[in-house]
Amino acid sequence: MAARTILHIDMDAFFASIEQRRNPALRSRPVAVIGRGHRTVITTASYHARRYGVRTGMNIYEARRLCPQVVFVKANNRIYTDTSRRILAILEGFSPKIEPFSIDEAFIDVTGSTSLFGTPRTIALSIKKRIREETGLGSSVGIGPNKLMAKLASSMQKPDGLVLIEEGEVRSVLERLPVERLCGIGRKLAGRLNAMGIRTCGQLADCPAGILKSSFGMTGERLKLMAQGIDTSPVASVEEQERTRSVGHSITLPRNTSDTKTLKAYLLRLSEKVCSRARKHGLAGTRLILTVRYSDFHTFTRSRPLPCPTNDTRAVYLHALRIMDSIELKKAVRLIGIAMDVLARHLCQESLFEEDRRRTDLLRAMDTVNESFGEFTLTWGTILESRGETGVISPSWRPTGARNIDET
Amino acid sequence: MEFSIDKNEFIKVLQRIQGIVEKRNTMPILANVLIETNSGSIDILATDLEIFIKDNCPSSVKRDGAVTVNARKLFEIVRQMPDESVDISVGNEDKVTIKSGRARFNIMGLSAKEFPAFPAVEEDSLTRIDPDTLKEMIDKTSFAVSTDETRYNINGFYLERDDSRTRIVTTDGHRLAIIEKETDIPAEAGGVILPRKGVTEIRKLLEEKEGTFYFGITKKSATMKRDNTVINIRLIDGEFPDYKQVIPKDNDKSFIAPRTGLLESLKRVSILSSEKVKGVKFSLSKDRLVLSSSSPDIGDATEELPVEYGYDDMDIAFNAKYLIEALDAMDDEKVVLWLKDSLSPGILKPVNSEASGYCYVIMPMRL
């Protein structure tokens, strides 16, 4: 593969910084963003709060114990997703090859952009500047010969960092780097490697391939390549990466409930989320899967085929209701979710009846409005009460793509 | 209650009701069959509250009475009995004893009082009908009935009558089948909707060729009677869509094709349509139809067949399944498909459509 230049842009304490930007009173104080639910956790802590040990995933009591002066701010997911989209739009000005990695991270391949925008470092600086000008937020940028190295580079100097790892420096950078610093090596995998006496990337790179293969199978080979700083995966949009096979959403309810009316309102909301996403990507559901989690975390799913492929919210909602009606709830429900197996609609079956066609047109019109003004701007009266944000936004949220996203 | 009954007669009746008894455990009594003595014979009733079926079987009654017992178990037991005759008696607390040869079964029944009442059927509301006509009308429309349970108003057969003609219409929202016959089959002018499952039971009864068949419609239900067997089905309480509105009136292009030729080509070409939606493209030019399909993962297929066509070239796509089912149900030698443009519904008819009274409207797929 010809030499590439990849940038990884990572927003600094994304949610917390947005809140501090919105409310100047928060700027000099330790801030932790929490979900809207009753049993929520911290999704992002400001750098100030992090100094006290406040981390993502902690509950409120732990955080308050570590940092009594911490200010909790409830998440405003629509603002975060909107900001994420704006940042992506800035990146699009520098290269068409962009891969949103999460709500606050993205890769951009600038290999072909240097003649237009200058050296990789110049491009990185321009991006950081544009993001700060347009959103008021700080970001850290890593530059590397591939995604793995770019991601490592962006994590090496935070906040407001800019680190360049040149092709020739890869080996020396990795030599003494603990294996868990590499994206893709989690705590569990690192633990297994440590148990084998492998602590640094240098050691991992020197480990005979046969040993790694016998311990980790296919992953073993990839681990060795990663430790050598080799990563050939392209910067690809979500659509290019995967052919979507299913679309789903789930929601942890603000409080456990067995009230069918409440649950039905959530089902409609979830149906609209799943269907609008399917519509946006030209997908139609062939099978509907309902997930229910009880208060004791017992989780089960029920599914049924959809009689004809559809992405009509009403049709999917009615089928979800039928599944729901067939379940005898034994406990209060904690989480509810629906997912659809989908196929791409190359050919679209038209409806015979004017009334059905009008509904298709109506959905199209709704989608156009919601595309511009945010999801659920135009929606069903039934779910108005539950409108507004619930829960916590998932770190896997991406501004584009039809991926299976959970609201947790 | 106590009676003896011929095993094979009993099996035939018990078999017929198996499709109706409730399989889900919502109301235990609905899994049961009601057996009731009736002047030297027994009446056998089953229902799922949508369909009621009543049958009568000659038997030698020793003591009158009534009981309900699990329909599935009774059928299994009787079927396996060693002798040609089965003795049934009811003891205390609805305990049912079934004996045949040296085999003896005791099963717990439920009180006959718990069983839903069979709807009253007035004999004079029934009209004698020609079973073959009704059979044909059902067979040429049943495949287009919607299976989408959330659209209950099209989960059945719309039956209506004006003057001397009776009409059945079915649709699933993408296609619509209409058959109209000069016949005595009674129906209401306003039209009623017969549920799919009930019509399936009626259709099974029509299969039994002998006997005289009577049919009638009341406000709430439809009744079919053959000799001693009576099926009563509750009508769907809903409004059937305005089907007349979707029958195109200005389709001015048509092609004529041999029915079996077109059917077989469609079956072949649709092999390579994607699995769930069998989209097939129709490309028409002077006396020529090219059918084609493709699946991104597998490949593509085309087939050319001569047709009678003399209009502008045209492309249109249909779900092949919809056409295959209709062509399969038809029995004519040649069919004609009337079209307007690639986005408007087509009409499939036998070339001699006056006699058959059949018409099938199908919405295309967007190319």
Kindly report, residue by residue over A138-197, the tens digit of the pLDDT. 999 999 999 999 999 999 988 899 999 998 899 999 999 999 998 888 888 899 999 989
Query: Does the pLDDT at position A402 exceed 60?
Result: no
Q: Which CATH number fits domain A10-145: 3.30.420.40, 3.40.1170.60, 3.40.1190.20, 3.40.50.460?
A: 3.40.1170.60
Determine whether the interchain pair A350/B365 forms a contact, defined as Cβ–Cβ distance below 8 Å. Answer: yes
Structural domain count, chain B: 3
**What is the distance in angstroms between the Cα of A288 and the nearest Cα belonging to chain B?**
13
Backbone angles phi, psi at A371, to 5 degrees: -65, -40
On the 0-12 / 13-18 / 19+ scale of CB atoms within 10 A, B366 is: middle
A348 close contact with B: CB closer than 8 A: yes
Q: Does residue B181 sit within a domain?
A: yes
Claim to verify: residue B198 and residue B270 sit in the same structural domain? no
What is the nearest CA distance from B175 to chain A, expressed in angstroms?
7
Give the separation between CA A304 and CA A318, rounded to whole angstroms. Answer: 12
The answer to whether position B332 is within a domain reads: yes
Residues B177 and B285 in one domain: no
pLDDT of residue B227: 87
The pLDDT value given to residue B230 = 93
> Once rounded to an integer, what is the mean pLDDT over residues A381-400?
56
**pLDDT at residue number A43:** 87
Q: Are A350 and B343 in contact (CB under 8 A)?
A: yes
Percentage of chain B surpassing pLDDT 70? 97
Average pLDDT over residues A305-315: 89
Write the CB contacts of A155 (distance below 8 Å, at least 6 apart in sequence): A10, A140, A142, A181
CB within 8 Å of B183: residues ≥ 6 apart: B129, B130, B133, B134, B164, B165, B166
Does one domain contain both B127 and B232? Answer: yes
What is the pLDDT confidence band of residue A389, given thresholds at 50, 70 and 90? very low
pLDDT score at A238: 61
Chain B: give the shortest CA distance to residue A157, in Å: 46
In total, the C-beta contacts within 8 angstroms joining chain A to chain B are 63
d(CA B216, CA B235): 12
CATH 1.10.150.20 in chain A is located at 170-227
Which residue range(s) make up the domain with B60?
Answer: 2-114
Is the domain of B288 the same as that of B344? yes
B47 and B79 both lie in a single domain: yes
Closest CA to B132 of B227, B24, B12, B213: B213
pTM metric for this prediction: 0.68
Residue A347 has pLDDT above 70, yes or no: no
From the list B149, B317, B345, which residue is nearest A322 (CB)? B149
User: Residue A31: what pLDDT?
Assistant: 93
Q: Where in chain A is the domain with CATH 3.40.1170.60?
A: 10-145
> Does residue B129 sit in the same domain as residue B240?
yes
Q: What is the pLDDT of residues A105-141, one digit of tens each?
A: 999 999 988 888 999 999 999 999 999 999 999 999 9
In this structure, the answer to whether residues B83 and B53 fall within a common structural domain is yes
Residues 6+ apart with CB under 8 A from A296: A331
Per-residue pLDDT reduced to its tens digit, B2-13: 999 999 999 999
Among candidates B276, B345, B367 on the partner chain, residue whose Cβ is nearest the Cβ of A343:
B276
- For residue B282, give every residue at least 6 positions away whose Cβ sits within 8 Å of its Cβ, in sequence order, or none: B289, B290, B291, B315, B316, B317, B318
Are B294 and B271 members of one domain? yes
Distance from CA of A370 to the nearest CA of B (A): 25
Q: How confident is the model at residue B162 (pLDDT cuts 50, 70, 90)?
A: confident
Residue type, A120: P
Distance of CA A269 to the CA centre of its chain: 20
Asked whether residue B238 falls in the same domain as residue B290, the answer is: no
The topology (CATH level 3) of A170-227 is: DNA polymerase; domain 1 (1.10.150)
pLDDT attached to residue A390: 47
B7 falls within a domain: yes
CA distance to A215, B99, B100, per residue, from B3 (Å) = 75, 11, 12
Say if residue A400's pLDDT is above 60. Answer: no
**Average pLDDT for A228-249:** 76
Residue at which a domain ends, from B219, B244, B269: B244
pLDDT at A376 over 80: no
Q: Is residue B367 part of a domain?
A: no
- Both B190 and B260 in one domain: the answer is no
Does the beta carbon of B228 lie under 8 angstroms from any beta carbon of chain A?
no
Give the end of a domain, one of B214, B229, B244: B244
User: Is pLDDT above 80 for B18?
Assistant: yes
Q: Find the helix packing angle between B71-79 and B7-17, rounded to 10°.
A: 150
Q: Please, how many CA atoms are within 13 Å of residue A181, restricted to the half-sphere of its CB?
A: 20
Indicate if the pLDDT at residue B261 is higher than 90.
Answer: yes
Lowest mean pLDDT among A366-380, B163-177, B263-277: A366-380
* B117 Cβ contact list (under 8 Å, min separation 6): none
Determine contact, residues B167/B351, Cβ cutoff 8 Å: no
**pLDDT of the residue at A362:** 87
Domain A238-393, what architecture? 2-Layer Sandwich (3.30)
What residue in A sits closest to B345 (Cα-Cα)? A352
Top-ranked range on mean pLDDT: pick from A279-283, A356-360, B139-143: B139-143
Residues 302-331 of B with CB under 8 A from A: 317, 319
DSSP conformational letter for B210: S
Residue in the block written with tokens 């052919």: A243
pLDDT for the residue numbered B20: 86
Instruction: Kindly report which listed range (A149-163, A190-204, B162-176, B286-300) carries the lowest average pLDDT score.
Output: B286-300
| Per-residue pLDDT band at A387 (split at 50, 70, 90) | very low
Residue numbers of A annotated as active site: 105
Are B106 and B133 members of one domain?
Answer: no
Least confident of A33-47, B108-122, B322-336: A33-47
Q: Which of A400, A405, A404 is nearest to A88 (CA)?
A: A400
Q: What per-residue confidence (pLDDT) applies to A386?
A: 52
B232 and B288, same domain (yes or no): no
Q: A388 pLDDT band (50/70/90 cuts)? A: very low
Query: Nearest Cα to B257, choosing from B291, B218, B233?
Result: B291
Question: How far apart are the C-alpha atoms of A98 and A280, rounded to whole Å?
Answer: 19
DSSP string, A301-356: EEEEEEEEEE--HHHHHHHHHHHHHH----S-EEEEEEEEEEEE-SSEEPPSSHHH
**B47 — phi, psi (to 5°)?**
-160, 155
Question: Which of A337-346, A351-360, B71-80 bottoms out in mean pLDDT, i.e. has the lowest?
Answer: A337-346
**pLDDT surpasses 80 at A375:** no
Mean pLDDT over A230-246 rounds to: 72
Q: Looking at the predicted structure, is the pLDDT value of residue B178 above 70?
A: yes
A286, B343: Cβ pair inside 8 Å?
A: no
Taking CA–CA distances from B247, the nearest residue in chain A reads A352
CATH number at residue B168: 3.10.150.10
Query: Which chain A residues are Cβ-neighbours of B175 within 8 angstroms?
Result: 352
Residue ending a domain, among B244, B278, B301, is B244
